[in-house]
Structure 1
Amino acid sequence: MMKTPSPLAPFLVHTFILPSFIYTHKSLIRKFKLFQIIRYTITTVFLFLLKIIPPSLKPNSNKSNDSSNNYSDTNLNNDGCDQYYYPYVKFFKENNNKDDGTDTCIARALTQLLAIVNEIPVSSRKYEVVRSYAEKLMDENLVEGNESLRKVNATVLSCAFSRTLGQLELAVMAAGVAAEDDGSVVVNSDGGVCFGLNRVVKTVGRYGDVAWTRFRKRRLNRFGGSGEKLAAELLWLAEKLAACGSGGEAVCQWASASKLASVALSAQLRLQGSLVKICAYLLKQAAGMGGEDAEEGNGEELREVKMKLLMSWLPFLCRASIGTDAPVLTFNEKIELENVLGELISSLKHEEEQEKILSLWIDHFTRCASSDWPNLQLYYTRWCTTSRKLLILEGR
Structure 2
Amino acid sequence: METSSSTIASLLLRIFLCADKSLSFLHNYKILHLLRQFILSSFLFFLSLLPALFSSSQSPKSDDNPATAGVGSSGVSRALSQLLLLMNDIPVSSRKYEAVRSLAEKLIDGNLIERKSALTEVNCAVLSAAFARSLSQLEAAMAEQGWKSGGDDAAREGDLFVYYGKASRLVKGVKYYGRAAWRWAKVKGEVRRPWSSAEKLAAELLWLAQKMAASGCAEEAVSKWASAVKMAWLALSTEPRLQGSLVKLSAFLIREAKEMRKQEEDEEGSRATKMRMLMSWLPLLCCANNGTDAPVLSMAERAELETILEEVIWSLGEEEQEMVLSLWLHHFTYCPASDWPNLRSCYTRWYTASRATLLMHHHTSS
TM range (shorter): 0.7 to 0.9
Q: Encode CA deviations 1:240-290: one digit per residue, 9 max, x unaligned.
A: 000011111110110010110011122111001000000000001111113
CA shift for structure 1 position 224: 3.2
> Within 5 Å, which residues of 2 pair with 1:253-332?
253-290=224-261, 294-332=262-300
**2:80 is matched with which residue?**
110
Q: Indicate the residue corresponding to 1:172 in structure 2.
A: 142
Distance between the aligned counterparts of 1:359 and 1:375, measured in 2? 13
Could you tell me which runs of 5 or more consecutive residues in structure 2 were left unpaired when the two chains were aligned.
1-7, 13-51, 153-164
Instruction: Tell me the amino acid that sits aligned with residue 355 of structure 2.
Output: R
Q: Residues 286 and 325 of structure 1: is their aligned pair in 2 closer, same or farther, counting only changes over 3 Å?
A: same
Q: Please give the TM-score of this superposition, normalised by the length of structure 1.
A: 0.69
Q: 1:361 to 1:206 in 2, by over 3 A?
A: farther
Q: Take 1:347 and 1:373, find their aligned partners in 2: how far apart are those partners?
A: 21
The letter of the residue matching 2:249 is I
Aligned-CA RMSD value? 3.1
**Residues 255, 202 of structure 1: CA spacing in aligned structure 2 closer, same or farther, 3 A cutoff?**
farther
Question: What CA deviation, in whole Å up to 9, does each residue of 1:362-387 have, x standing for no partner?
Answer: 11111222222111111001111111
In the superposition, the TM-score normalised over structure 2's length comes to 0.74
2:317 & 2:151 partners in 1: Cα distance?
44
Q: Distance in 2 between matches of 1:376 and 1:127?
A: 41
**Within-5 A mapping of 1:28-43:** none
- Counterpart of 2:44 in structure 1 is none
Q: Distance in 1 between matches of 2:173 and 2:77?
A: 46
Task: Answer yes or no: is the 8 Å Cα contact 2:89–2:192 preserved in 1.
Answer: no
Distance in 2, Cα, partners of 1:212 & 1:266: 23
CA distance in 2 between counterparts of 1:203 and 1:340 reads 51
Q: In the alignment, which of 238, 241, 245 is matched to residue 209 of structure 2?
A: 238
CA distance in 2 between counterparts of 1:206 and 1:354 reads 43
1:341 equivalent in alignment to 2:309: yes
Correspondence for 1:88? 67
**Per-residue Cα deviation, 1:173-201 (whole angstroms, up to 9, x for no partner):** 1111111189xxxxxxxxxxxxx959979
Change (3 A) 1:87 1:252: closer
Secondary structure in 2 matching 1:88: coil
Q: Is the 8 A contact 1:119 1:223 kept in 2?
A: no
Question: In structure 2, do the counterparts of structure 1 residues 232 and 395 end up closer, same or farther at CA, with 3 Å as the change threshold?
Answer: same
> Quick one: structure 1 residues 321 and 207, their matched pair in 2 at CA, closer, same or farther if it must change by over 3 Å?
farther
Contact 1:256–1:309 (8 Å) recurs in 2? yes
Once residues 280 and 175 of structure 2 are traced to their aligned partners in structure 1, the CA distance between those partners, rounded to angstroms, is: 25
Report what 1:372 is aligned to: 339
Counterpart CA distance in 2 for 1:198 and 1:314 is 41
